[in-house]
Structure 1
Amino acid sequence: MGGWQRTIKSYLLIYLRFMKNCFIAQMEYRTNFVLGIAVEIAYLFSKLLYVVVVYETDLHIGDITPDGILMFVGTYTIMTGLYAGLFFTNFVRIPEYVRTGELDLLMVKPISLQFMVSLRYIDLGMPIPNLIAGITMVSIGWNSMGIDLNVNNICLFLFYLLAALMITYGLMIIPSILSFWFINTGGLAGIFYAIWDANNMPMPIYSKLIQRIGVYVLPFLVITNFAPMSVMGRMDGRLMLWGACAPVLLFIAVRLIWKKAIKNYSSASG
């Protein structure tokens, strides 16, 4: 087994240990675990109002039918669950690590610091309602639109979901990384959350300029749109290629910014 394969295996084992530890910790406070799921269900119902309005008004966005819109909303819901479960808790802690100096202790760990601070905590409760609801919506829309349920379409959809997950990581960690230079990045984080919430509808609802920015500059629109578009036959070769390249380029950019941030970091003790 090559060196890089051993490294990947080691990090997978570490991540599984993170997950196990988080599960044990959350089970110690089962009431909080259940309440967290209940709160997320309540929030999910508010988002499902979009679906009710879409079908009640027979809303069409261009030539996208209500069933097609349901697939986009379902994808958005899935990605919201994944973001909340895998990344959110970690990202909000990074500025605190910087302010309190706890980052000093984490820097001496014999693994990647970025891996440690951005993937250490996994919330196993909050994603459950979103994932169930999102998969259900995508399945209903998929079936209603008569899209073939074959290996090719399933692989396409899952591939762009994985790309969306990488883009979610790259974009939503940016405000946290900027905390190395700025004391308070809460305002910038709020802007990113607002943009995220604006991503729950198909991108043709926006002007061509916003679509170009949201796909090629700050690729939020890739997160919710490319997976359903790929199986609906709405993507040309150029978009499909960009959907594969964007997460890689964004990850490289984030990695470079992270290294620069660590290089310029001075501990809380000075």
Structure 2
Amino acid sequence: MRKYVTLYGMFIKNCLIAQMEFRSNFMMSLLVESVYLLAKLLYVLVVFRTDLHVDGIPPEGLLLFLGMHTVVTGIYMGMFFTNFTNISEYIKDGRLDLMLTKPVSLQFMASLRYVDLALPIPDIVVGLVMIGIGWHAMDIPLTLLQLGGFMLLLLVAVVITYCLMIIPALLSFWFVQTGSASEMAHSAWDANNFPMAIYPTWIRRIGTFVIPLFLITNFGPMFLLGQLDWLHVGLALVGSLLLLSIIRLIWKQAVRGYSSASS
């Protein structure tokens, strides 16, 4: 584990050096993501102007859900998006062959090699501000227990995000074109920025127990609002680790059937 932590630190350092060599590109990424974020903030404006209540949760409480979605979006864009997009290219042009020779996990190298340090900044900062405003407005006590539970569920959200959003990239081992699968995944992602109570019961069950997308945005805020106990927090953690194990098995199976681009 220490070796992989050190290696990931080197990835971050190298990516930072590379991005600082082209500062204008770094600033442009910040600007572009900020524009996208402004469009997302229209949701907040609509929520407060219409005094929207969802399942008894007032607009101030909805900020917790919107903020959680925004923070995890930033983490996804910074840690995973570029890597998942590149996996299909590695397979097509043979770069995966070179990665196979490295004395580290191929999945680690292919899915975590690049870190974008510009794109996540606006999302994470604004998302944390929204969470802070909602936390204060809903009079939620700021205790180590509350903070610890929320951070644990944020970690669960990141793990589930990794597992679900890498699936279109895994399909690249069997199919040439996986763009449609990626578009479907991102459309489902954008639909997850509100409490799952807005959806019918059957959709909530699928989004919780089959494809656990709703756990990403909902469980952290629900814990803060007292709608989730520690038993469900533990189950969410176990479920995320189980999902990660399944993705690991699928990855190994995919690599087993991989044919070198040079063959």
Using the size of structure 2 for normalisation, the TM-score is 0.98
- Matching residue of 1:193: 186
- Matching residue of 2:54: 61
CA drift of 1:195 comes to 0.4
Give, in whole Å, the separation in 1 of the partners of 2:207 and 2:238. Answer: 15
Q: Does residue 250 of the first structure (1) align with residue 243 of the second (2)?
A: yes
Could you list the per-position Cα deviations for residues 231-266 of structure 1 after superposition, in whole angstroms to 9, with x for gaps in the alignment? 111114553333112211110110000000000000
- Matching residue of 2:32: 39
CA drift of 1:184 comes to 0.6
- Matching residue of 2:160: 167
| Runs (5+) with no aligned partner, structure 1 | 1-7
Moved over 6 A (4+): none
- Matching residue of 2:134: 141
Q: Does residue 15 of the first structure (1) align with residue 8 of the second (2)?
A: yes
- Matching residue of 2:232: 239
Identity value in percent: 50
- Superposed CA RMSD: 0.8
- Matching residue of 1:105: 98
Could you list the per-position Cα deviations for residues 216-235 of structure 1 after superposition, in whole angstroms to 9, with x for gaps in the alignment? 10011000111111111111
Q: Does residue 213 of the first structure (1) align with residue 206 of the second (2)?
A: yes
Using the size of structure 1 for normalisation, the TM-score is 0.96
Could you list the per-position Cα deviations for residues 23-58 of structure 1 after superposition, in whole angstroms to 9, with x for gaps in the alignment? 000000000000000000000000000000100010
Give, in whole Å, the separation in 1 of the partners of 2:24 and 2:169. Answer: 30
Letter in 1 for 2:226: G
Give, in whole Å, the separation in 2 of the partners of 1:45 and 1:94. Answer: 30
Give, in whole Å, the separation in 2 of the partners of 1:137 and 1:237. Answer: 24
Contact in 1 for aligned 2:153/2:233 (Cα 8 Å): no
Q: Which of residues 143, 148, 157 in structure 2 aligns to 1:155? A: 148
- Matching residue of 1:3: none
SS where residue 141 of structure 2 aligns? Answer: coil
SS where residue 57 of structure 2 aligns? Answer: coil
Could you list the per-position Cα deviations for residues 102-161 of structure 1 after superposition, in whole angstroms to 9, with x for gaps in the alignment? 100010001000000000000000100001100000000000000000000000100000
Q: Which of residues 110, 122, 132 in structure 2 aligns to 1:129? A: 122
Size of the alignment, in residue pairs? 263
Q: Does residue 225 of the first structure (1) align with residue 218 of the second (2)?
A: yes
Letter in 2 for 1:74: G
